[in-house]
Amino acid sequence: MNGKREKSIFICTKCGHNSGKWLGKCPCCGEWQSFVEREHRASKTSVSASQPVPLQRSSEQSLRRLATEIEEFDRVLGGGILPGAMILIGGEPGIGKSTLLLHILSEIACQELPVIYISGEESVGQIEMRAMRLGIFNPLIYLATENRVEAIVEIVREMRPALLVIDSIQTLVSAAISSLPGSINQVRESAVQLQAFAKENNVPVILAGHVTKDGGLAGPKVLEHMVDTVLYFESDRGNGLRILRTVKNRFGSTNEVGVFEMKEEGLVQVANPSEIFLAERPLGEPGSIVLPSMEGTRPILVEVQALVCPSTLAMPRRTAVGADPQRLSLLCAVLEKKVGLDMHRHDIFLNIVGGLHVVEPALDLGVISALASSMLGRVVPPTTLVCGEVGLTGEIRAVGHVVSRIREAERLGFTRFIMPKSNAERLLGQPGIELVGVATVSALLEVLFEG
CATH code for position 433:
3.30.230.10
Tell me whether residue 89 is in a domain: yes
Contact 303, 281 (CB under 8 A): yes
- Pick out the residues of the known binding site for ATP: 91-98
260 shares its domain with 122? yes
Q: Are 77 and 166 within one domain?
A: yes
- Within a domain: 55: no
Q: Is 226 a domain residue?
A: yes
Same domain, 113 and 140: yes
- Cα 267 to Cα 99, 238, 414, distances in angstroms: 7, 17, 30
Which residues make beta-bridge pairs with 81?
Answer: 66
Position 3 pLDDT exceeds 50: no
Q: What is the pLDDT of the chain when averaged over all its residues?
A: 86
3-state SS record for the chain: CCCCCCEEEEEECCCCCEECCCCCECCCCCCECCEEEEEECCCCCCCCCCCCCCCCCCCHHHHCCECCCCHHHHHHHCCCECCCCEEEEEECCCCCHHHHHHHHHHHHHCCCCCEEEEECCCCHHHHHHHHHHHCCCCCCEEEEECCEHHHHHHHHHHHCCCEEEEECHHHCECCCCCCCCCCHHHHHHHHHHHHHHHHHHCCCEEEEECECCCCCECCCCHHHHHCCEEEEEEECCCCCEEEEEEEEECCCCCCCEEEEEEECCEEEECCCHHHHHCCCCCCCCCCEEEEEEEECCEEEEEEEEEEEEECCCCCCCEEEECCCHHHHHHHHHHHHHHHCCCCCCEEEEEEECCCCCCCCCCHHHHHHHHHHHHHHCCCCCCCEEECCEECCCCEEECCCCHHHHHHHHHHCCCCEEEEEHHHHHCCCCCCCCEEEEECEHHHHHHHHCCC
More confident site: 169 or 296 = 169
pLDDT of amino acid 1: 43
Angstrom distance (rounded) from CA 26 to CA 9: 14
Q: What is the pLDDT of residue 449?
A: 86
Domain co-membership, 31 together with 86 = no
> How many Cα neighbours within 13 Å face the side chain of 122?
16
Q: With contact defined as beta carbons under 8 Å apart, do 124 and 145 qualify?
A: yes
Residue 103's pLDDT is what? 94
Chain centroid, CA 134 distance in Å? 25
With a cut of 50, say whether residue 267 has pLDDT above it: yes
88 and 206 inside one domain: yes
- Residue 350 vs residue 92, higher pLDDT: 350
| CA–CA distance, 1 with 10 (Å, rounded to integer) | 26
What is the rounded CA–CA span in Å between residue 29 and residue 15? 6
Shared domain check, 307 and 244: no
- Compute the average pLDDT of residues 93-104: 90
CATH of residue 120's domain is 3.40.50.300
Can you say how many angstroms the Cα of residue 433 is from the centroid of all Cα atoms in its chain? 32
pLDDT digit string, tens, across residues 189-243: 899 999 999 999 999 999 998 876 666 665 656 788 889 999 988 876 556 788 8
Cα angle 163-165-171, degrees, rounded to a multiple of 5 = 155
> In the beta sheet, which residues pair with residue 18?
11
212-225 burial, b for 16+ CB within 10 Å, e for fewer? Answer: eeeeebbbbbbbbe
pLDDT tier at 245 (50, 70, 90 boundaries)?
confident
Q: Quick one: pLDDT band at residue 433, thresholds 50, 70, 90?
A: confident
The larger pLDDT score, comparing residue 449 to residue 365, is at: 365
79 & 186 share domain: yes
422 and 318 inside one domain: yes
Q: What angle is formed at CA 149 by the lines to CA 89 and CA 34, rounded to 5 degrees?
A: 65
Whether residue 248 lies inside any domain: the answer is yes
In DSSP terms, 243 is beta-bridged to 234, 259
| Residue after which a domain boundary falls, among 243, 271, 299 | 271
Count of beta carbons in the 10 Å neighbourhood of residue 399: 22
Distance of CA 86 to CAs 125, 269, 427, Å? 27, 23, 43
- In the chain, pLDDT over 70 holds for what percent of residues? 89
Compute the distance between CA of residue 386 and CA of residue 414 in angstroms, rounded to an integer: 11
Query: Is cis: bond before 34, omega within 30 of 0?
Result: no
What does the pLDDT look like over 107-160, one tens digit per residue? 999 999 999 999 988 999 999 999 999 999 999 999 999 999 999 999 999 999
Whether the per-residue pLDDT at 39 is higher than 70: the answer is: no
Give the per-residue pLDDT at 447. Answer: 93
List the binding residues: 91-98
Facing residues of 268 across strands? 261
Residue 57 included in any domain: no
Last residue of one domain, picked from the residues 241, 256, 271 = 271
Residues 9 and 40 sit within 8 Å (Cβ to Cβ): yes
Radius of gyration of the chain (CA): 26
pLDDT band at 61 (very low <50, low <70, confident <90, very high): low
Q: What is the span of the domain harbouring residue 382?
A: 276-448
Give residue 63's pLDDT: 65
pLDDT at 415 over 80: yes
Domain count within the chain: 3
pLDDT score for 214:
63
User: In the prediction, which pLDDT does 252 show?
Assistant: 83
Please check whether residues 263 and 309 belong to one and the same domain. no
> Residue 9 — pLDDT band, cuts 50, 70, 90?
confident
Which of these, 127, 203, 210, 118, lies nearest to 162 by C-alpha position? 203
- Tell whether the model's pLDDT for residue 443 goes beyond 80: yes
Residues 35 and 68 in one domain: no
